[in-house]
Amino acid sequence: MATLSAIRALLGESRFNWADPAPWIALERELGVEFPADFHEIVDAYGSVVINGQLYLQHPAPHLLHDLGTMIRRDLEFWREEDMAEFLPDPAGTNPGELLPVATATTGEMIFLRVPEEPSSPWRVLVQEMDSPSWTLYDMTFGAWLLAYLKGRDVTLCARDRAPGGPTHEFLP
C-alpha cells in the first residue's frame, strides 16, 4: 500500500511486522465489524507504539500489555455513558454511522473511525478533544490522516512541537 510506504519513509522502518491474522479475526468477530485495510496494515507493521511521544496505536495481539481490544472495550463503555455521549456527533459503537475508538493521545484527544453507512463507503477519522467539547471529522482514511499528522499538518493533533527532529516511534510492551 502506497500510504504505508510513505508512513515508513517519515516514521522509520517498522520492526513489529505481524503476520498472524488470528487476533484481528477474533476482535472483529467480537465487535461485529471489520477494520479498514489501511488501519489494519499500519498497526500490523508497527504494533503497539507511541508516535512522537503523543499518539498511541495499539495492536490486537492479546499477549501485549497495550492491546487494541482492551482499549476499545474500555473506551466504548466510557463514550456510551450518558454524560459523555453528548460530546460526540454520533454514538460510539460498531454499527454503521457509529464511532469506533481506535487511538488516544497524551494531549487529550481521542481518535475514532466512523463506521461507513454502506460497505462500499470509505471509513473516516474523527478526533475528539477531551479538554473541550469539540470534535473534527476528517474526510480521509486513517492512513491519510496519520500521514498528514506525520507531515505536521493540522489534523487536531500537533506534531511539530512533539517531534522537532522529525517523526519517531517507540514500541509499547
Question: Where do the domains of the chain lie, and which CATH numbers do they carry?
Answer: 2-171 (3.40.1580)
pLDDT at 42: 97
Whether the CB-CB separation of 57 and 48 falls below 8 Å is answered with yes
pLDDT at 102: 98
Q: What are phi and psi of 138, to 5 degrees?
A: -105, 125
pLDDT at 62: 83
| Angular region, 171: left φ>0, alpha ψ -120 to 50, beta rest | beta
pLDDT in tens, 90-137: 999 999 999 999 999 998 899 999 999 998 899 999 999 987 778 999
Mean pLDDT of the chain: 91
pLDDT at 160: 60
pLDDT at 163: 74
**Model pTM?**
0.93
Average pLDDT score over residue span 16-42: 96
pLDDT in tens, 145-164: 999 999 988 898 765 666 77
Q: Cell numbers at residue 70, please? A: 482492551
Long-range contacts of 26-32 (CB under 8 A, 24+ apart): 26/60, 26/62, 26/69, 27/60, 27/68, 27/69, 27/72, 30/69, 31/72, 31/94, 31/100, 32/94
pLDDT at 1: 53
Residue 170's closest CA among 63, 39, 70, 48? Answer: 48
pLDDT at 83: 79
Whether the CB-CB separation of 80 and 91 falls below 8 Å is answered with yes
Average pLDDT score over residue span 35-49: 96
pLDDT at 159: 59
Q: Does residue 13 surpass a pLDDT of 70?
A: yes
Average pLDDT score over residue span 57-79: 93
